[in-house]
Amino acid sequence: MLASYMSTDLIVKEINAKTKEGVIEELVDVFDKAGVLGNKKNFLSAIIKRENVETTAIGKGIAIPHGRSEDVKKMAILFARSREGVDFKSLDKKPVHIIFMIAAPLNVNKEYLQTIARIARLLRHEDIKEQLLNATGKDEIFRIIKDFDSKYPVQGKVETKDGRVIHGK
């Protein structure tokens, strides 16, 4: 499921930016170059607005910035990593090393929430996190994500409360 919204064009082996804002801008540029966005500036604003509500750095070195916008042509997921780590104002105050950014059109709600839940599930697996951190190339990173999709097929349903995922399998 996750791999169906990705490609190697949406994988950044090592982020250049050193700040949260810089990382967000760098990754939005990747979405734009991949043809995911109709208007880069508007999507960047949506991501920053979402991030200002509450950090998407969930702890343990992980951030899942996400946004919905009429300027997204098709839902897509971007994977990026920072070996050095970036201060994302994480809940546990630790630097972020793994980032999954999600771009979704406004009319995609169920898939959007399922995707956030799937990424959270993937990242609960410490072995998969380690593989993603240690992978040497984009193809290897993409294969790790495809293998997760095969090994752990979508099950159950996603429940939400006030527009937030509260349970996902």
Q: Which residues of 52-85 are buried (b: 16+ CB within 10 A; e: fewer)?
A: eeebbbbebbbbbbbbbbebbeebbbbbbbbeeb
pLDDT over 50 at 169, yes or no:
no
| Distance (Å, whole) CA 11 – CA 149 | 17
Among all chains, which residue has been given the structure tokens 């294969």?
143
Q: Which H or E run includes 26?
A: helix 20-33
DSSP state of 54: S
pLDDT for 160 equals 54
DSSP state of 37: B
Tens-place pLDDT, residues 92-121: 999 999 999 999 999 998 899 899 999 999
**Domain covering 3-167, topology:** Mannitol-specific EII; Chain A (3.40.930)
Round the average pLDDT of the chain to a whole number and report it: 91
Q: Is 167 a catalytic residue?
A: no
Tens-place pLDDT, residues 48-61: 998 999 999 999 99
Q: Which of 66, 97, 125, 167 is catalytic?
A: 66
* Cα maximum dimension of the chain: 40
